[in-house]
Amino acid sequence: MIPAQDDTMAQTVRMAVFGQRDFAAGFFDDLAAIGTDPAGGITRDTYGPGENRGHDVMARAAEASGLGLSVDAAGNTYARWTAADDLRTVMMGSHLDSVPRGGNFDGAAGALAGLVAIRALRALDARPRINLCAMGIRAEESVWFQTSYVGSRAALGTLPVETYDTARRIDTGRTLADHMAACGCDVEALRNGARPLDPATLEAYIELHIEQAPSLVEEGRPIGICTGIPGNFRYPDAKIVGRHGHVGTPHRFRHDAAIAGAEIATEMEKLWTAREAEGTPLAVTFGRFHTDAAFHGLTTVPGLFHFSIDVRAYDEKTLAEIEQEFLRIVARAEANHSVRVELGPRKSAPVGPVDPDLRGGLVAAAQALGTGFIDLGSPASHDAAAFAAAGVPMAMLFIRNENGSHNPLEAMEIDDFLEGCAVLTEFLYRKYCR
């Protein structure tokens, strides 16, 4: 149980957090300066120069805060406030990479939140009964290597060893191992079973993150307290093989790959709509969806079509059901249009259940502060899911962000960020400090 605390102390905690405004704003400004893409937006490329510079920013901030700094074999950065070597650790963090031409706050807000919380607690002369650590995580954005949670899973020892050699960065074609080695990581140690983070030593993992949809803007609330993280299945490189033909070919003779792709997409949209009408939240996305540029044209029946699909849901049973229905839809499209669908490699991420005690503690902290919040399921996957899958109790806070994420217009306000940090700090103070 979290002990009761009067509102006066909660407001003292808030003041300590808001006293970190200049530190927080400077951190975000430094990240923007090193990540600005000449083509627009922010690019901190995974296991590349951009992400490296982001971790340098965090390292400087940790040292300026008087915290113990370390980097693990996967390149993750840790800023620790150690109460005692034999105590468990509350880990707070998120990733410092970005999608190409994205925004400045996705991921970075969570890496910074742990630093802000620790600095505020130190300003209050708090005496934690547990170790506290802010973590800057590598390689969360799966767009670069088509693989989720690389940095966190490498640290937890749950990243399949073959990934180091099979995953290739989409822009360079080089393997994950090559990119990691170029960034100074000890790939051989990881291949040989090194586990920088032992889940048994972790009391909890708490991640603050900008919201990636406009729910909080719509509700007029600065924060959301997470109810769950969806799992997913993905086919990032699927293709439909038919036969190129003349535009005048009668229907019965066609092997139209594009129409088959359109049927798969529309049938999945119908399935999504029907399941949501039954009360089952889903998300279905065809991120790539195109004919072959080498052959397509106004007067050609497309014989080749490429697509990717990402399906996410909040429980494993639903994911399994949707995937089976997807495979049936694919089979029907093959039969209806005399084509062959090659789905290619399958990727997936597990559902991330939120720990009810941690979530309850965050709710109590928000109430003590008088912070407006809503319960909010995460529409996206996060490193928190990797920690949950490794058996670490997990919780998340979302921060209002007007223009969504993965775009240059991310618009988190510093006051909203600090309000989320205040909830995190109040929770830590109430539960873990004398």
| Binding residue numbers | 95, 106, 141, 209, 406
Number of helices and strands in the chain (H, E): 14, 16
Residue 148 makes CB contacts below 8 A (sequence gap 6+) with 140, 142, 347, 349, 381, 386
Find, among 136, 116, 118, the residue nearest to 54 by Cα: 136
Single-letter residue type at 49: P
Two structure tokens written together for 334: 């093959």
∠ Cα 173 179 180 (to 5°): 150
CB 224 within 8 A of CB 185: no
Task: Look at phi and psi of residue 378 and say left if phi exceeds 0, alpha if psi is from -120 to 50, else beta.
Answer: beta
Backbone Cα Rg of the chain? 23
353, with CB counted inside 10 A (0-12, 13-18, 19+), is middle
Sequence ranges of the binding site for Zn(2+): 95, 106, 141, 209, 406
d(CA 402, CA 294): 39
